[in-house]
Amino acid sequence: MAANDTTPLIERRSIDYIPEAERHGRLLSQFTLWMGANLQITAIVTGALAVVLGGDVFWSLIGLLVGQLIGGGVMALHAAQGPKLGLPQMISSRVQFGVYGAAIPIVLVCLMYLGFTATGTVLSGQALGQLFGVSDSVGILIFASVIVLVTVLGYRVIHFIGRVASVVGVIAFVYLFSRLMSQTDVGALLQIRHFSWSSFLLAVSLAASWQIAFGPYVADYSRYLPSNTSSVKTFLAAGAGSVIGAQVAMILGVFAAAMSNGQFAGHEVAYIVGLSGTGATAALLYFSIAFGKVTISTLNSYGSFMCIATIISGFRGRLEVTRLQRLVFVLAIVGTATLIALLGQHSFLGAFKSFILFLLAFFTPWSAINLVDYYCITRERYDVPALADPNGRYGRWNALGISVYVFGVLVQLPFISTKFYTGPLVAALGDVDISWIIGLVLPAALYYLCAKKWHASVPDQLILPVEQDSAVATKTSGAGRAAAQA
């Protein structure tokens, strides 16, 4: 990423609009960031779950790819909003939910971040424990300290770590694949084909939920791109990086689980590294696993900070976050996730599967509403200054958006199948969980029909904050200049 020489190492911005003069970076940074975020151990474990929970190799691979493409498309549509709006993803939800009402999905997003940070910390703790010869708990604490440091530094350092993690991840994965292929009769595994809808849709759901879960914060990392960046190219860069990285990792997980003879669950990191042998090679792989988790765990922690700041600013007005306040927020977030990791490290695999599937019930309706509104109703014509004004265009609470969101969550309940809750229609469908499909399609259709008739006033064009520096103003988009004059 080609940043300006004047760009500080520690990020100055938090949830505020990014002025054009501070925009920087290239689309390649989106590809490398999201590839690095996905070439990591948790994605391997997610792919392995498709086999551990009863699927065969062939149909698990097909199902995971289908889920990647569906979920990756949703994720990338959110990414394309970043350069146009220059805002964190969840602040834009105030258009659909109201300045106060947006806190409803944001609170759930914070819980998601905590869960993913905790599960990633468990696996990283295993890797660091093996690397340094300490307990997994000590490894968890070491990893948490690194996450605090990188999160406090912010956007620029996160992108740099993402690029390095992509290189490290590619090298490690190429080596692991070569070792795996030398020890496995891949052709024989692919010949075992026992198709069942429940196993196939489980694989689709695992991959789709993995990708959709990035939706609430993917625009946080594209908002610094120049506003004239192509939306299509942003979509392709972020989506391709995420889909390719995740699918590669999950393929490795599928084959690892298929040849493990039941030894994978509970020893995920040790089993993966054990494919390569011992000694210096194993130590390097433990390091690459821990380093690979730095990117995604930092994204989760950074996203948590952004969400908490968004909630507070919604009720208090404009919020200026100092570096000390950022540190306090991050310490609280990572501290909570670390505590969860320490308490739940011994029952990780089963809890993780239930966690990521249950999340879909809360995030697919949000994605559906946000995307339909942005691309079909308002068509990118947001009033950005009004997002900070409870008395402005978007109001405190948007009854339409909140009602459709609640409907979207409730309509999925009969179809959910997790350890937390199993709906009454799951058994009739052969134990197939189709809740996330219902949660995407029905809220999207309902919101579109209702919003076409009852949506609040939509500006004629995108309205951006007035940028005081005349040199900056000459660089803003035509829509931004027209809005400033208005």
Angle of helix 103-132 relative to helix 136-153, nearest 10 degrees, comes to: 130
Q: Which residue has the tokens 């579109």?
A: 448
Q: One digit per residue, pLDDT tens: the chain, 486 residues? A: 344 445 555 555 556 788 888 887 788 889 988 988 888 777 888 898 888 878 888 999 999 999 999 999 999 999 999 999 988 888 888 899 998 998 888 887 777 777 778 877 887 888 788 788 888 889 889 888 888 887 777 657 776 777 777 787 778 878 887 887 777 777 777 888 888 888 898 899 889 988 988 888 888 888 889 989 999 999 999 999 999 999 998 998 898 888 877 666 656 677 777 766 667 777 777 777 777 777 777 777 777 777 777 777 777 766 566 677 777 878 888 888 888 888 777 766 556 656 666 776 888 899 999 999 999 999 889 998 888 888 888 989 999 999 999 999 999 999 888 777 888 988 887 777 788 889 999 999 999 999 988 877 788 898 888 764 433 433 444 444 333 333
Distance between CA 362 and CA 403 in Å, rounded? 13
Rounded to 5 degrees, φ, ψ at 358 are -65, -30
Rounded to 5 degrees, φ, ψ at 275 are -65, -25
Give me the domains of the chain, ranges plus CATH numbers: 27-457 (1.10.4160.10)
Using alpha carbons, select from 101, 15, 31 the residue that is nearest to residue 307: 15
Rounded to 5 degrees, φ, ψ at 383 are -100, 90
CA distances from 350 to 52, 53, 335, 355 (A): 10, 10, 23, 9
Q: What's the longest Cα–Cα distance across the chain? A: 68
Distance between CA 109 and CA 292 in Å, rounded? 23
Report pLDDT for 266.
Answer: 59
Report pLDDT for 119.
Answer: 77
Distance between CA 76 and CA 238 in Å, rounded? 6
- Three-state SS letters, the chain: CCCCCCCCCCCCCCCCCCCHHHCCCCHHHHHHHHHHHHCCHHHHHHHHHHHHCCCCHHHHHHHHHHHHHHHHHHHHHHHCHHHHHCCCHHHHHHHHHCCCCCHHHHHHHHHHHHHHHHHHHHHHHHHHHHHHCCCHHHHHHHHHHHHHHHHHHCHHHHHHHHHHHHHHHHHHHHHHHHHHHHHCCHHHHHHCCCCCHHHHHHHHHHHHHHHHCCCCCHHHHCCCCCCCCCHHHHHHHHHHHHHHHHHHHHHHHHHHHHCCCCCCCCCHHHHHHHCCCCCHHHHHHHHHHHHHHHHHHHHHHHHHHHHHHHHHHHHHCCCCCCHHHHHHHHHHHHHHHHHHHHHHHHHHHHHHHHHHHHHHHHHHHHHHHHHHHHHHHCCCCCECHHHHCCCCCCCCCCHHHHHHHHHHHHCCHHHCECCCCECCCCHHHCCCCCHHHHHHHHHHHHHHHHHHHHCCCCCCCCECCCCCCHHHHCCCCHHHHHHHHC
- Using a 10 angstrom Cβ sphere, with 0-12 exposed, 13-18 middle and 19 or more buried, the burial of residue 188 is exposed
Calculate ∠ Cα 397-85-164, nearest 5°: 120
Report pLDDT for 7.
Answer: 53
Distance between CA 142 and CA 124 in Å, rounded? 9
